[in-house]
């Protein structure tokens, strides 16, 4: 988690770079991001390509930063493929996973040598020209229940994603009949049961082995997706546990592995700041970030973000705590970030509220509801804060 001393440094550091319209700020903590990326890389076999999911945090500067550090990018749409290219990512480090690729999108990417393009259905394979130079993968639905929340569980039998592994012979026939050289799966976000995921990995590997046994090694790449919940770094993490499972499952194989993590990488490495605009009845505060930034939280279940209150120069507001509901700025009753949050009783208009751990699925999901301006985005390098992007008016 980002330390309070770094939050304080950012508040003090941005003071000269903002004006009174900057009622909220989105901050990326680059040293923590890099630490997490290195932890991820260290947990997996060394040749693994880690293609970070663009959808989790698509800020163009963030993509450039990830590419500069040598990581790949996973694109869920042709727009994200274009963003990855604009960020300088080599096609060989881009994974394209849209489930609804049009014929013209496929024409666009099929000549991008070594870009991994995963088809969502067998029928999609017919849309590729015979001279395609991209790497074509088939998305397999492992049909497992890893404990992912229902909305993010993409591996149920009726899932819209991929070809069910129960249709094994169909997958094998398609892989043999088309220029397929990869298999892909993503079991869902926030997987809980890693032993179930071990079974899914083993099944994917067995399927690739079976295709290879009749085709002298057509399948060379296995993309195993992302899907771990956010967690702090420590000696014992789910990421380390998962990496150990991957080492075991693929110990005796030559497959090139690809991952597509999103929230595990980003969530802890970002925070947001909002001015406190109103304090009502000593029990409700109104801030400038709500369901526009915390879309998933407002419409599903709010994550338990760590909240702190600061004065204008970055000093911690301390003292006796009291219970507050934190209301966002949008015009609907459900726009609350938290209920019963314990904040200093002296919390007042003009203070900053810091919301820690907001690096994933926030800016990325910015909602147009009420047409509020997207805040300034700031990058903190451990010492300095610099502006990654100015406030942006929504352009309809």
Ligand X SMILES: Cc1ncc(COP(=O)(O)O)c(C=O)c1O
**What ranges make up the beta strands (E) of 123-269?**
135-141, 163-164, 180-184, 221-223, 256-259
Closest CB to ligand X among residues 14, 364: 364
Under the binding rule (CB under 6 A), the answer on residue 96 touching ligand X is no
Q: Is 267 in the site for ligand X (CB under 6 A)?
A: no
Tokens of 47: 């040749």
Tally Cβ neighbours within 10 Å of residue 220: 13
Question: Does the protein bind ligand X through residue 226 (CB under 6 A)?
Answer: yes
Q: Is residue 170 a contact partner of residue 163, using CB atoms and an 8 Å limit?
A: yes
Interface with ligand X (CB under 6 A), residue from 14, 25, 26, 53: 53
What distance in Å separates the CA atoms of residue 133 and residue 319, rounded to the nearest whole number?
A: 63
| Beta strands in the chain, from DSSP E residues, in sequence order | 24-29, 49-53, 72-75, 94-96, 116-119, 135-141, 163-164, 180-184, 221-223, 256-259, 270-280, 284-287, 306-310, 321-327, 336-344, 352-356, 376-380, 385-389
Burial of 238 (0-12, 13-18, 19+ CB in 10 A): middle
**CA 348 to chain CA mean position, Å:** 34
Q: Determine, following the binding rule CB under 6 A, whether residue 74 of this chain makes contact with ligand X.
A: yes
Our finding on whether 72 is near ligand X (CB under 6 A) is: no
Q: Which stretch binds ligand X (CB under 6 A): 34-42, 240-248, 259-267, 341-349?
A: 259-267
Out of 153, 260, 268, 292, the residue judged to bind ligand X by CB under 6 A: 260
> Interaction with ligand X in 171-210: which residues (CB under 6 A)?
186, 189
- The contact pattern for ligand X, residues 129-168, with x = CB under 6 A and - = no contact, is ----------------------------------------
- Give 56 or 135: the residue with its C-beta nearer to ligand X: 56
Nearest to 57 by CA among 229, 261, 240, 226: 261
Does the protein bind ligand X through residue 80 (CB under 6 A)?
A: no
Q: Is 227 in the site for ligand X (CB under 6 A)?
A: yes
Shortest distance (Å) from residue 220 CB to ligand X: 20
Among 242, 261, 305, 363, binds ligand X (CB under 6 A): 261
Q: Which residue, 256 or 296, has its beta carbon nearer to ligand X?
A: 296
Which H or E element spans position 199? helix 194-213
Nearest distance from C-beta of residue 260 to ligand X, angstroms: 4
Binding site for ligand X (CB under 6 A): 53, 56, 74, 97, 186, 189, 225-227, 260-264
């Amino acid at each position: 988690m980002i330390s309070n001393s770094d939050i304080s440094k950012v508040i003090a550091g941005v003071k000269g770079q903002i004006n009174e319209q900057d009622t909220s700020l989105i901050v990326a903590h680059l040293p923590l991001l890099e630490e997490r990326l290195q932890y991820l890389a260290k947990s997996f076999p060394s040749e693994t390509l880690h293609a970070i999911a663009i959808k989790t945090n698509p800020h163009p500067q963030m993509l450039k930063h990830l590419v500069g550090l040598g990581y790949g990018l996973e694109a869920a749409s042709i727009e994200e493929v274009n963003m990855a290219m604009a960020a300088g990512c080599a096609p060989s480090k881009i994974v394209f996973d849209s489930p609804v690729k049009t014929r013209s999108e496929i024409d666009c990417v099929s000549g991008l040598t070594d870009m991994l393009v995963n088809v969502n259905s067998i029928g999609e394979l017919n849309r590729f020209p015979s001279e395609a130079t991209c790497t074509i993968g088939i998305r397999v639905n492992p049909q497992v229940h890893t404990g992912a929340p229902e909305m993010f569980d993409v591996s149920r039998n009726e899932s819209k994603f991929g070809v069910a592994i129960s249709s094994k012979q169909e997958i094998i026939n398609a892989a043999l009949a088309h220029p397929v050289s990869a298999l892909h799966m993503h079991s869902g976000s926030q997987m809980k049961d890693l032993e179930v995921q071990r079974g899914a990995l083993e099944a994917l590997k067995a399927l690739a082995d079976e295709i290879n046994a009749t085709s002298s090694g057509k399948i060379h790449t296995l993309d195993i997706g992302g899907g771990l919940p956010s967690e702090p770094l420590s000696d014992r993490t789910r990421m380390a546990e998962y990496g150990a499972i991957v080492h075991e499952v693929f110990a005796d194989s030559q497959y090139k592995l690809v991952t597509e993590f999103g929230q595990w990488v980003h969530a802890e490495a970002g925070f947001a700041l909002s001015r406190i605009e109103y304090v009502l009845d000593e029990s409700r505060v109104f801030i400038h970030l709500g369901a526009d930034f915390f879309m998933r939280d407002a419409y599903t279940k709010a994550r338990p973000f760590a909240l702190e209150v600061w004065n204008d120069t970055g000093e911690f507001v301390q003292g006796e705590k009291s219970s507050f509901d934190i209301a966002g700025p949008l015009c609907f009753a459900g726009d609350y970030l938290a209920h019963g949050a314990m904040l200093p009783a002296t919390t007042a208009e003009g203070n900053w509220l810091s919301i820690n751990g907001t690096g994933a699925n926030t800016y990325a999901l910015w909602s147009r509801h009420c047409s509020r301006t997207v805040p300034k985005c700031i990058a903190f390098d451990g010492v300095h804060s610099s502006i990654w992007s100015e406030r942006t008016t929504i352009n309809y």
